[in-house]
Amino acid sequence: MVRFLRGALSLLFLLSIGLAVATPVSGESDALVPFPVDTSLVPINGLERRDTCSTVNAVVDKIGTSTEIIAYFSTGYFSTLWVCTRNNAHDCNTMATAVGSSFVSISYIAGRVWGGKSVTKRDSNDTLAGYLETAFRSGGEVFEAIQDTTHTLQARSDSGYGELPVEMASIRNWAYNGTLVNFDIHDFGNGNGHILLPLDGIGAHSLNGTTLNRRAVGKAPGFKISYTTRMESKLTNGHRVDMANAMASDWASRANSNNKMSSYIGLWKTGHSANFYFRVIPESQDFGTNYEPVNVCGQMAQFL
């Protein structure tokens, strides 16, 4: 009886000073309870991952019959701006160069799929790395190496779900817009893939030797650019770079002005046919090998 009275008095005391008492939710042991604090750039816990989508449907750039569109952006998970600032920057402007290089890379990869070379089983005579090396040289790109690193892939999904890549290529010291860019590409053999940017301890560095964004070894933030390819772009390499830079600048501008923005989602198209769809995803730490779909905010055929 004494313990009961003490418990009742403690409860009355808490209520009297205005503290809320949590009540268990029937059947929902992991129910989320709102916490009235301005989190600003602080990321949401990964267990609470969710996306709130906003439709944009804006043309970012157009050259001839080629158009690039931002379809959606999402909020509610890790802030893009938070990830940018964790990479030793005040905003996302310095990351835009590396993101732009990713768009150019995807446009090259779309040519592989359009040419009927997408694979479900790895062919040593036609690897992703081999294809990209040939495509990069044909496009006049300057780089140190494009390595076939498929052997380093784990035999399981890091996150315990989703399809796994069948190939991996690592781009080393690609001189893109005056910056040396390094990243990995995972190919799933069906037109889907993602780029992991930047790599632990490598990142992107300016040609004068100054570190642009160096991702610390181990647990550190970065970006995953998921994509699904459809057909090769008709753009010249110079025009690909122009469009990629325009899209990356738009990504950075939106992230800088909206510290809640998470995924940035859009497409490149020729006429009314898609070249590829993409989703730029901020990551809190490490990178999972599982594919994350581009259509989390809805199908994008409506924007063609």
**3-state SS record for 107-149:** HHHHHHHHCCCCCCCCCCCCCHHHHHHHHHHHCCCCCCEEEEC
Provide φ and ψ at 147, rounded to 5°.
-105, 145
How far CA 270 is from CA of 65, 67, 113, 299, in Å, comes to 5, 6, 16, 18
Run of H or E including 232? none
pLDDT of 238 strictly over 90: yes
Specify the higher pLDDT residue, 119 or 172: 172
pLDDT digits (tens, 9 = 90+) for 65-99: 999 999 999 998 789 999 888 866 789 998 899 99
Contacts of 117 (CB under 8 A, 6+ apart): 126, 131
pLDDT computed for residue 88 by the predictor? 67
pLDDT of 234 strictly over 50: yes
Q: Do 234 and 249 meet the contact criterion of CB atoms below 8 Å apart?
A: no
Strand partners, 269: 67, 274
**Top mean-pLDDT range of 55-59, 82-86, 122-126:** 55-59
Q: What is the pTM of this model?
A: 0.77
Q: Return the structure tokens found at 80.
A: 């893009």
Q: Where are the domains of the chain?
A: 63-150+165-202+219-303
Using CA of residue 278, residue 237, residue 108, residue 300, what is the dihedral sign?
A: positive
pLDDT digits (tens, 9 = 90+) for 211-231: 333 333 345 678 999 999 999
